[in-house]
Structure 1
């Protein structure tokens, strides 16, 4: 496994040819650059809707014909952070991502991982590495065929059970 910083991972993502899939399994994330928007959302129900460098990167990738999918496995009722994610997801979708949601009670825990990761062209898996404070520490990438096969099978299970964003409403 090779640990990549975010810029190295972004370059890897840019080189995807067919599909990038992101599995998110946490109900809370500590993302420094979201703190102000989260606080504003919790106070007023609104947030800054301008695109970040992430959305521009996804737009660049999807404009080349690469499919970018994201599945969020969440606990219901939702945490405040999950409600914030749901509200901000239209920015992901506008940049070209296909986002789905899955209530974690609707999948056998044995069919799921507890880690967040990306599959890239069905050939590599990039595990999200979090720092002690919860912020992103980088991504650990492997091309081990056993791990890649397993994560691809988890992706298929989750994706087939998940609900498209347009059909999913936040649960309080």
Structure 2
């Protein structure tokens, strides 16, 4: 694991053609989300304004990227019935879409025959992988960059296989 992995916004800013993100966990513990997640559990309300302080840094980064003609896709492999955290992500996905991301969902039972890397990742321009490492509890513990052609090939293949099977957000119903 390298400690000098650039922030995701910098990597998006350097991207020319495509950025894809594969999420495979059923829960994440993201410190900046903790209070919003707890509020959502209590009230069912989640910030949905892409211009809100909560979202602005992300939506600005995605918009800058998409405005340059870069395609940004996110696929989520989820267990069903889904966890509360996945319900929370689902509730926030309209903001991802408003920023310009394309988002799809794949029930985990439909991914059994797909060769998947062991960690969530971003893949930039089909040549640079940024892995995210999480503890068993879902805490982010680090990132690493990888340009090895075999790793890039695995991640490209995995993402594209998931994407072909996955259900667009507008058609996916959480169970």
TM-score by length of 1: 0.90
1:78-106 CA-to-partner distances (Å, cap 9, x unmatched) read 10000010010001111110000000001
- Cα deviation, residue 76, structure 1: 0.2
Cα RMSD for the two superposed structures: 1.8
- Structure 2, unaligned runs of 5 or more: none
**Is residue 70 of structure 1 aligned with residue 45 of structure 2?**
no
* Match in the other structure for 1:159: 163
- 1:2, 1:140 within 8 Å by CA — same for their partners in 2? yes
CA distance in 2, matches of 1:114, 1:140: 13
- Cα deviation, residue 75, structure 1: 0.2
- Structure 1, unaligned runs of 5 or more: none
CA distance in 2, matches of 1:3, 1:105: 35
* Match in the other structure for 2:139: 135
SS of the residue 1:167 aligns to: coil
| Alignment CA distance shift 1:4-1:58 (3 Å) | farther
SS of the residue 2:25 aligns to: coil
* Match in the other structure for 2:96: 92
**Equivalent of 1:168, from 159, 169, 172?**
172
- Cα deviation, residue 5, structure 1: 4.1
* Match in the other structure for 1:54: 58
SS of the residue 1:52 aligns to: helix
| Alignment CA distance shift 1:73-1:132 (3 Å) | closer
Instruction: State how many pairs are aligned.
Output: 170
- Cα deviation, residue 149, structure 1: 0.8
- Cα deviation, residue 47, structure 1: 1.6
**Is residue 145 of structure 1 aligned with residue 132 of structure 2?**
no
CA distance in 2, matches of 1:138, 1:56: 24
CA distance in 2, matches of 1:168, 1:4: 37
* Match in the other structure for 1:11: 10
SS of the residue 1:117 aligns to: strand
